[in-house]
Amino acid sequence: MNRFNWTYLDDRDGQHQVGLMHGPESGHLLVYCNSKIVLIDFRVLTDAEYSFFINEELCELSIERRGRQFLYGFEINKKADTPLNRERKKRNKKDLLKSLVFLGSLLLVVSIFISGLFSWNNYQAKNSIDQQLIFSGLETKAKVLLATESEDQTPTYFFTVNGKAYQDKILQDSEYIILENGMPLETGDEFVVKYLSYNPNMNQIYYERPTDNQLQTYKARAAQRFQMKNPGSTPEYCSCLIETAYKVNGLDGIADVYFFDTNISDNSKHNSQTYQKLIENLEFKTQLNKNCSSY
């Protein structure tokens, strides 16, 4: 049984003992912090990476196999988008501002020049990354986590690659976001995300590509809202109505039914007028009478 121990000192000088037990033959793995088990896995016989939190600090454990031996590593991730790392970034920004004021106008000119160069490089790098994602990015599922009134957090989406979690912020920080696909964004929504195999932190979420599970969620939400506003309609009819709208007009059809009673001033793309156009569509009426008249 392989055993390794590390001592981690947090920002408040708190000491934590991190221990690892790993069977080189069975591959069974147990990781604990102080007296608490934080990770259990089985048949770990190849290279592996794991992440877990100690208080607010994101920790990363790595296992590397070399022949019949295993090498173990433990690091603190100070770059990931966590509340603690965001606080560190805020402190760093304040320190940087004080330095710029102290150095005076000369360094201010230099910093402007460097900032312009850095922005240009970022622009070039972003274009390069976007191209790589389009042509060679790998796909998986990402889930959305929005901020609530009781939580001071950045809206994010997260996904896992080889058992390791990655996350990125959602550019819009509003509590109510309507996507280009027409539907509101909610916590738990699931979309396709592309990432670079050599660095999953380079990724892009595609809100126009909801997963199959998310598509069913959209249909259920629209049917539930329509029935709530029309209590005389049966659940079967509402579901059939949504299926017909989707067959005729895709996601836009679902959004038209979802916002069937919304004023155009509140939603210019999907509202009571677009819903009226949908139900007056000849193909829609034909399909609705054919498939939903019995409900």
Q: Are residues 8 and 18 in the same domain?
A: yes
Range of the domain at 124: 83-135
Lowest pLDDT segment from 2-16, 78-92, 100-114: 100-114
Is residue 6 located within the same domain as residue 20? Answer: yes
Is residue 217 located within the same domain as residue 279?
A: yes
Q: Residues 130, 168: one domain?
A: no
Question: Do 123 and 184 belong together in one domain?
Answer: no
Q: What average pLDDT does this structure show over 190-197?
A: 95
Looking at the predicted structure, is the pLDDT value of residue 95 above 60?
Answer: yes
- What are 226-249's pLDDT values in tens digits? 999 999 999 999 999 999 999 999
Q: What is the CATH number of the domain that holds 21?
A: 2.40.128.180
Q: Which long-range contacts (CB under 8 A, 24 or more apart) does 159-167 make?
A: 159/193, 159/195, 159/200, 159/203, 161/195, 161/200, 162/48, 162/49, 163/48, 163/49, 163/50, 164/49, 164/50, 164/51, 164/60, 164/200, 165/51, 166/195, 166/200, 166/201, 166/203, 167/80, 167/81
The predicted model gives 57-77 an average pLDDT of 94
275 and 236 in one domain?
yes
Residue pLDDT, tens place only, 96-120: 888 888 888 787 777 787 887 676 6
Question: Which pLDDT band holds residue 2 (cuts at 50, 70, 90)?
Answer: very high
Asked if 120 and 146 sit in the same domain, the reply is: no
The domain total for the chain is 4
Same domain, 159 and 218: no
Same-domain check for residues 237 and 180 = no
Last residue of a domain, one of 169, 187, 210: 210
The pTM (predicted TM-score) of the whole model is 0.55
